[in-house]
Each structure stands twice: as C-alpha cells, then as structure tokens.
Amino acid sequence: MSDKADKSNIVNYKFHHVDISKCKRCKAFSCEDACFRGIYEVLNKDTEPMCVVVEDREDNCVKCHICTTACKLKAITID
C-alpha cells in the first residue's frame, strides 16, 4: 500500500483533517490528551476508535502541532 492517504477515509473539518482509517487501529488515543484546547474526542475506544474534532471548539486551535506530533499513526493534518 502506498503512503498516500486514501481521501475517502479523511474526515474534513474547517481546517483539521483526520484519517479515520488510521484511528481504527489506534490504541494510544494520544490526540485527546495532547490537545490542551480539548479539540479532540475519541469515540468507540473499545470497538472501532475514531477521532472527532469537537466542532464548536475547532476555532480554539492555536496550530501548535502538538497533536500531529503526538499521533504516531499520523492521522491528523492541519491546514
């Protein structure tokens, strides 16, 4: 498989993009703890994990990129 993300797996918010196919095999859920602005919530941790951006918090993002570094599966991109 190539490194290129399959766009069909990407959930796009205003300027956050999450490859939820990667979240499915995540066990760390680092995004939630990493973001001090509480932008992320990981749903279905016990079954099929999926990171979501809490939409009314997205504008609180300061683009520090702590989350993109913390997510070892590189599921998150920020414009």
Residues that bind ligand SF4 (CB under 6 A): 18, 22-23, 26, 28-31, 34-35, 37, 39, 42, 49, 51, 61-67, 71, 73, 75-76, 78
Q: How far is the CB of 33 from ligand SF4 (least distance, A)?
A: 9
HSE, CB side, 13 Å, CA atoms: give it for residue 26: 27
Query: Which residue lies nearer to ligand SF4 by CB, 2 or 72?
Result: 72
Beta bridge partners of 11: 18
Q: Are 38 and 67 in contact (CB under 8 A)?
A: no
What six digits make up the tokens of 68? 């993109």
Q: How far is the CB of 18 from ligand SF4 (least distance, A)?
A: 6
